[in-house]
Structure 1
Amino acid sequence: MKYLNFFLLVFFLSTGLSDECAYSEWGPNDEAGNANLISNESVLEALKSVETGKTYSLGLIVDSNTPAYPPRSLELTVVQPFQQFGAGEDLYPNLAANDDIFSGWLGIGSQIDGLGHIGSADGVFYNCNHGKDFAQITGLTKLGIEKIPPLVARGVLIDMASYLNKEFIPAGETLNLLQLKGAMKSKGLTIQKGDVVIFHTGWTAAKFKSAPEEWGSGAPGILPEIAEYLKEKQVIAVGADTWSLDVVPVLDEKEPFPAHPILLTNGIYILEAMNTGEMAEDGVTDFLFILGPAKVRGAVQMIVNPIAIN
Structure 2
Amino acid sequence: MKQRPIAGLACAIGLIASGAVAQDCKQSKWGAADQIGSANLVTPENTLAAAELIKQGKSMPLGIVIDSNTPAFAPRSLNLQVVQPNQQGGQKLTQFGYPGNYNDDILQTWVGIGSQIDGLGHLGENGYYYNCSDEKEISAITGLTKLGVHDIPPLVGRGVILDMAAQGGKEFLAAGDHFGEAEIKAAAEAQGVELRKGDIVLFHTGWTENMLDSDPTAWVSGEPGINVEGARYLASLDVMAVGADTWGIEPIPPAPGDGAFYGHVVLLKENGIYILETMNTGPVLRDGVNEFMFVLGQARIRGTVQMIINPVALY
**Do they superpose with TM above 0.5?**
yes
Note if 1:231 corresponds to 2:215.
no
Note if 1:302 corresponds to 2:307.
yes
Give the unaligned 5+ runs of structure 1: 1-16
Note if 1:115 corresponds to 2:120.
yes
Task: Tell which structure's C-alpha radius of gyration is larger.
Answer: 2
Contact 1:134–1:141 (CA under 8 A) maintained in structure 2: yes
Separation (CA, whole Å) in 2 of partners of 1:183 and 1:251? 19
**CA deviation string 1:237-276 (max 9, x = no partner):** 0000000101012346982111000000111000000011
Q: In the alignment, residue 262 of structure 1 is paired with which amino acid?
A: V
Q: For residues 1-310 of structure 1, what are the structure 2 equivalents within 5 Å?
A: 19-92=23-96, 93-120=98-125, 122-251=126-255, 255-265=259-269, 266-310=271-315
Task: Tell me the secondary structure at the aligned position of residue 243 of structure 2.
Answer: strand
Contact 1:174–1:247 (CA under 8 A) maintained in structure 2: yes
Separation (CA, whole Å) in 2 of partners of 1:103 and 1:252? 38
Separation (CA, whole Å) in 1 of partners of 2:208 and 2:90? 46
Tell me how large the CA RMSD over aligned residues is: 1.7
- Structure 1 outlier segments of 4+, above 6 Å: none
Separation (CA, whole Å) in 2 of partners of 1:233 and 1:137? 35
Separation (CA, whole Å) in 2 of partners of 1:18 and 1:220? 34
Length-normalised TM-score, structure 2: 0.89
**CA deviation string 1:143-172 (max 9, x = no partner):** 011011011100011011112221100111
Separation (CA, whole Å) in 2 of partners of 1:165 and 1:49? 28
Give the unaligned 5+ runs of structure 2: 1-20
Q: In the alignment, residue 29 of structure 1 is paired with which amino acid?
A: A
**CA deviation string 1:73-126 (max 9, x = no partner):** 010011111222344443343421011110010011110000010112x21111
Task: Tell me the secondary structure at the aligned position of residue 255 of structure 1.
Answer: coil
Aligned length, in residue pairs: 293
Task: Tell me the secondary structure at the aligned position of residue 172 of structure 2.
Answer: coil
Give the direction of change, closer, same or farther, for the CA distance of 1:254–1:275 in structure 2 (3 Å limit).
closer
